Every structure is written in C-alpha cells, then in structure tokens.
A = this chain, B = another copy of it.
C-alpha cells in the first residue's frame, strides 16, 4: 500500500502544477502572506476571500475552501459559515483548522459550529485535535503542549465521529479517515518556530484535496508529505527560523513529483 501511496503523492503534485486549483483561503492575519506564498510555490492559485458579502459566492468558483480560526471575529465567522455551506452545496472539499479552539468560549463555540458543517479534512496540532475529540489536552495559546503520539487515539475517534479526514501535525504527522491511517516523518525543528507554518499547511491541504481523482485521505497524506520533504531539504540549508521561512518557499517551488516520491517518508499506521 505504502509504495502506491507514495507514488501517488508525486503524481498529485505534478497534476497540481499542470492544472492549478483556485483555493479560497479564509485564514488569519498572521498567516495570510506566508500561506499565499506557500500555495503559489506549490503551483496553486490562492485567493484570500472572507467577507460575508462574498465568501459564499466565491466558494462556488473555487476548487476548494480552507477555514482557519486563528484571528477570529463574529463578522469573519459569518463569512466562514457562508463559505463552508457553499462548498458543501457545490460539492467542493473544505478544510478546517481549529486554531486554539479550546482557549476561549467564543472560540469553542465557533469550532463546534464549523464542525457541524462537516469539513472534509480537519488539520490541527496535537492539543487542538485532542480537545476537539473531547479529551484533556495541555494546549495553551496557539502552540501545542502535547505530542502527536498522544493525540492519535483522539484523531481516530474524531474521524469516526465526524466522517472527516483528521490530520495531526507535529514531529511525525498522523493522518486518518477512521479506517486507514498513515504517519509522515521528516521536516525540521525550525518549523514550529516559524509562525504560520501550520496555517500554510492547511492551505496546501486545500490545494491537494482539490485535485481529482483522489480520496481526501490520500490527498491529505500527499500534502503533508510534500511539506515534510520540503522541510527536510530546507533545514539543511538554514541557519535559523528567519532563513528557514524563505528558503522553504524556494525549495517548495523547485520540488517535483519524482523527488517527492523518492524522499517522502510515509508509513502505514
């Protein structure tokens, strides 16, 4: 299974480059610029469109939608609802990134409402996924206080509860649709020190799930493998988080399907 899966990672990246998907990213103020550059480097066409006045209409045009609650407000939440509903109505996949959803009552309610709108994929750090599955977590602010390993059972539970693919990202990523699961190794210790890295990855998952034919689980594995391979390559050329941030963009822009296939560290779980 794994070799076929890894081979499909490379093919999917090449397909993405040949037919750039239009990805509507509703993300936070911190991440917008970096996420857009990551999507452009991967070959996708990002569009940051979130106002309630147009978010739903635009979702009808987009190939996929991603929703990240990092810098949430009531007005933006309206736009998120409109985009998620329109994605559902138009049969477009959408990805939820429930940033620090456990931190405040406002955020908990927002995450619950978005979850009820049936995301295709949920991507978060370990603390976020554990809390979303109803488990106790050590999360504080936007950084994870738990290991991915500790969150695997929560991810399985959440996937079965929601019918979504659940991706827990960290030192070694874990992705499950409740039936099939995989772990993706690689990356760099600098990645959690670069702000918006996870938010940008959510955007990339959106780009990959927009590429047919695929299952959301395979597409998510591919996006995560692409990110990890680029991270590993970048780490060897970087002197710190500042250089890591921009070299990652160069590396991602130069990555092709063959290299991705050769270097991806995906194992069944």
Chain A interface residues toward B at CB < 8 A: 22, 28-34, 36-37, 40-41, 45-51, 53-54, 57-58, 61-62, 70-75, 100, 103-107, 140-143, 193-196, 239-243, 245-251, 253-254
Contact = CB atoms under 8 A, between A and B. Distances in A.
Give the residue among A33, A61, A194 with the most B Cβ atoms within 10 A. A33
Given A141-B61, A240-B251, A30 B30 contact: no
Contact of A249 (B33, B53, B242): B242
A195 B22 contact: no
10 contacts: A29-B29, A29-B32, A40-B194, A50-B71, A53-B106, A57-B104, A239-B250, A242-B248, A242-B250, A243-B247
Sorted nearest first, the 5 A-B pairs with minimum C-beta distance are: A242-B249, A240-B250, A242-B246, A36-B195, A54-B104
Given A40-B194, A243-B247, 16 more contacts: A28-B48, A29-B29, A40-B193, A41-B240, A41-B242, A46-B141, A47-B142, A48-B71, A51-B74, A57-B105, A61-B103, A240-B249, A240-B254, A242-B245, A242-B246, A242-B253
B243 A54 contact: no
A9 to B, nearest CB: 21
Given A194-B37, A242-B249, A140 B22 contact: yes
Contacts of A247: 242-243
A29 B25 CA distance: 12
Contact of A34 (B33, B41, B47): B33
A241 B249 contact: yes
Contacts of A70: 48
Contacts of A242: 37, 41, 245-251, 253
Contact of A106 (B33, B54, B251): B54
Contacts of A140: 22, 45, 61
Contacts of A30: 32-33, 36, 48
